[in-house]
Chain A
Amino acid sequence: MTPALSIRDLKKTYKGGHVALKGISLDVARGDFFALLGPNGAGKTTLIGILASLVNASAGSVIVFGHDLAREPAAAKACLGLVPQEFNFNMFEPVVEVVANQAGYYGIPRAEAFRRAEVYLKHLDLWDKRHVMARNVSGGMKRRLMIARALVHEPRLLILDEPTAGVDIEIRRSMWKFLREINNAGTTIILTTHYLEEAESLCRTIAIIDEGELISNTSTKQLLNTLQRETFILDVEKPLDAAPVLPQHTLHLVDEHTLEAEIQRNESINTLFAELTQQGIRVLSMRNKTNRLEELFMRLVENGAGEPS
């Protein structure tokens, strides 16, 4: 079965000589929930721009559900929906027209376009605002409006470029739920985000690009398994003057009630607790110092394409 998206040796050099993509190749399987991560300026938005036909590639190929974007643009574009990073709808149009007009550009008759607009605006809690000018709805609503607009032609591949940037946690969670639903219904999703817990929670595959190159592309599970050690924060009951010295673990004192412990992947946390208990230290709570994916992401980006340590 052909993948939902197949990118081969994709390069982009902007006028002025800036090389944004240095030859990216990757496949996205049908039905996948795929994260594309990377630091600012890594080339994510350029890559998405090429997929969306908003940026001209310098070299390479993009094939969407078997249709070459350069040779069969109409067929390839019909499979794609995009939720861009920045608001890019007409601020002086009513919400419902933003969605219905987008359907029209895909050749969907007007009556059907409005019927679908109703479905997606209701799904995304925007139906009450349908006659409001787009500029007058809140930031979170504008984000959801772009999702409704991207879905109105029912694309097989949905690309979301930081869709939850700047929205509150409640809306973010409801958007996650909605995205999971449409992914479960068969839509392949590519997501870029700076919220790594979002990628960890939603995505089955994670690709990381940095300085225009792909430095990792594997399943979320496999990627997290490469994390050799984790750092935990322990809140202790009684104040400590110094970090306790344990036979098998090295601890750091953050403050008198907080310890930091590094645990190797093949180690049991029980040993740490046993050693602490022996020294009469009672732990009240424990948490990861950072999100696991965040820790891994930082190591990968800092080490380039090398093995995460």
Chain B
Amino acid sequence: MKAREKLIAFQTIFTKETLRFARIWMQTVLPPVVTTALYFIIFGNLIGPRIGEMEGFDYMEFIIPGLIMMAVITNSYANVVSSFYGSKFQRHIEEMLISPTPNYVILLGYVSGGVMRGVTVGVAVTIVSLLFKPFNIHSLPVMLSMFVLTSILFSLAGLINGVFANSFDDISIIPTFVLTPLTYLGGIFYSINMLPEFWQKLSLVNPILYMINAFRYGFLGISDISLLTSYTISGGFIVALYLFSLYLLRTGRGIRT
């Protein structure tokens, strides 16, 4: 397959994945926007003023980056895990497996769909947050790069979950019992400097902490973690998950007998 043909195959998967979530925007884009708006109302407007400042910023300002990041993480993951498992369940993954499209193009196609949904929801949530609190962006390159890196990372994680899933239960276990707790404990609502030393150290094993903090740096210019560490951890996870995903596709785990 020539490079141009691979590009067409990639564009086809990307378009198909984007149309998939766009067709059902009431289920995919709207709910996270509504949920995040509720967070802004409850934690930002109602409870926030009683908490006061966090790291020198209004509580509302402090939580905005984390809430945007939470929407990006959950939606990138959910998009790829449900789409990939759905394609296994309905067996239309076979359309790609029978074709000359290489495994890495299939992988990039699914991930690009996840990134697209993560970015779409992230932008929608950002626009909603502006209705509650206008904010300045400290570093646009840091903000945008973390936006994209995080959605790539969780799209890859969603694909791996989709490969191993054998039932619809299997695609909700990880998001419910692993992803959501890690996201909530990743410093969306608080700075880890507030925690006792033991919990501070324990928080450092949570990869989501690094992404939320780097993203917050892009908005507010503050972070509990150094930027270099955040980029290194995110990049390392992306490379590891990409290679593992590619290995799974190559060996046909869950998709070939």
Residues of A whose CB lies within 8 Å of any CB of B are 14, 49, 52-56, 73-75, 77-78, 80, 82, 84, 86-93, 97, 101-102, 104-110, 113, 149, 153
Residues of A within 8 A of B256 (CB): 53-56
Highest count of chain B CB atoms <10 Å: which of A101, A109, A149: A101
Within 8 A of A (CB), among B64-107: 87, 90-92, 94-102
The CA-CA distance from A107 to B7 in the complex, in Å, is 8
Q: Are B92 and A106 in contact (CB under 8 A)?
A: no
Q: Are B92 and A90 in contact (CB under 8 A)?
A: yes
The CA-CA distance from A74 to B9 in the complex, in Å, is 13
Closest Cβ of chain B to A67, distance in Å, is: 11
Residues of A within 8 A of B97 (CB): 52-54
The CA-CA distance from A82 to B98 in the complex, in Å, is 8
Residues of B within 8 A of A73 (CB): 100
The CA-CA distance from A92 to B95 in the complex, in Å, is 15
Q: Are B91 and A52 in contact (CB under 8 A)?
A: no
Closest Cβ of chain A to B252, distance in Å, is: 6
Q: Are A106 and B99 in contact (CB under 8 A)?
A: yes
Q: Are B101 and A55 in contact (CB under 8 A)?
A: no
Do A88 and B91 form a contact, CB below 8 Å, given A74-B102, A104-B8, A107-B5? yes
The CA-CA distance from A77 to B1 in the complex, in Å, is 10
Closest Cβ of chain A to B95, distance in Å, is: 6
Closest Cβ of chain A to B6, distance in Å, is: 7
In the complex, whether B257 has a CB less than 8 A from a CB of chain A is yes
Q: Are A105 and B101 in contact (CB under 8 A)?
A: yes
Q: Are B91 and A109 in contact (CB under 8 A)?
A: no
Q: Are A90 and B96 in contact (CB under 8 A)?
A: no
Set A54, A93, A97, A107: member contacting B4, Cβ < 8 A? A107
Q: Are A104 and B257 in contact (CB under 8 A)?
A: no
List 11 other contacts, CB 8 Å, given A74-B102, A89-B95, A105-B101: A55-B256, A56-B252, A86-B91, A88-B92, A101-B95, A102-B99, A105-B95, A106-B5, A106-B100, A110-B11, A153-B99
Please give me the residue from chain A that is nearest to B87 by CB atom. Answer: A90
The CA-CA distance from A55 to B256 in the complex, in Å, is 5
Q: Are B94 and A14 in contact (CB under 8 A)?
A: no
Q: What are 26 contact pairs spanning A and B, CB under 8 A?
A: A52-B94, A52-B97, A53-B98, A53-B256, A55-B257, A74-B100, A74-B102, A77-B98, A77-B99, A82-B98, A84-B94, A88-B90, A91-B90, A92-B20, A97-B19, A101-B12, A101-B95, A104-B8, A104-B11, A106-B5, A106-B9, A107-B1, A107-B5, A107-B6, A107-B100, A113-B12
In the complex, whether B16 has a CB less than 8 A from a CB of chain A is yes
In the complex, whether B2 has a CB less than 8 A from a CB of chain A is yes
The CA-CA distance from A56 to B102 in the complex, in Å, is 16
Residues of B within 8 A of A88 (CB): 90-92, 94-95
Q: Is the interface of B mostly helix, strand, loop or mixed?
A: helix
The CA-CA distance from A55 to B257 in the complex, in Å, is 5
The CA-CA distance from A84 to B93 in the complex, in Å, is 13
Highest count of chain B CB atoms <10 Å: which of A89, A106, A153: A106
Q: Are B92 and A105 in contact (CB under 8 A)?
A: no
Q: Are A105 and B99 in contact (CB under 8 A)?
A: yes
The CA-CA distance from A102 to B8 in the complex, in Å, is 11
The CA-CA distance from A92 to B2 in the complex, in Å, is 30
Residues of B within 8 A of A102 (CB): 95, 99
Residues of A within 8 A of B90 (CB): 88-91
Q: Are A54 and B100 in contact (CB under 8 A)?
A: no
Residues of A within 8 A of B16 (CB): 93, 97, 101
The CA-CA distance from A98 to B97 in the complex, in Å, is 15
Set B9, B23, B257: member contacting A105, Cβ < 8 A? B9
Residues of B within 8 A of A75 (CB): 100
Residues of B within 8 A of A77 (CB): 98-100
Please give me the residue from chain B that is nearest to A84 by CB atom. Answer: B94
The CA-CA distance from A56 to B255 in the complex, in Å, is 11
The CA-CA distance from A53 to B4 in the complex, in Å, is 23
Q: Are B96 and A105 in contact (CB under 8 A)?
A: yes
Please give me the residue from chain A that is nearest to B1 by CB atom. Answer: A74
Residues of A within 8 A of B6 (CB): 107
Closest Cβ of chain A to B94, distance in Å, is: 5
Closest Cβ of chain A to B24, distance in Å, is: 8
The CA-CA distance from A77 to B9 in the complex, in Å, is 14
Closest Cβ of chain B to A73, distance in Å, is: 7
Please give me the residue from chain A that is nearest to B252 by CB atom. Answer: A56
Residues of A within 8 A of B98 (CB): 52-54, 77, 80, 82
The CA-CA distance from A80 to B91 in the complex, in Å, is 18
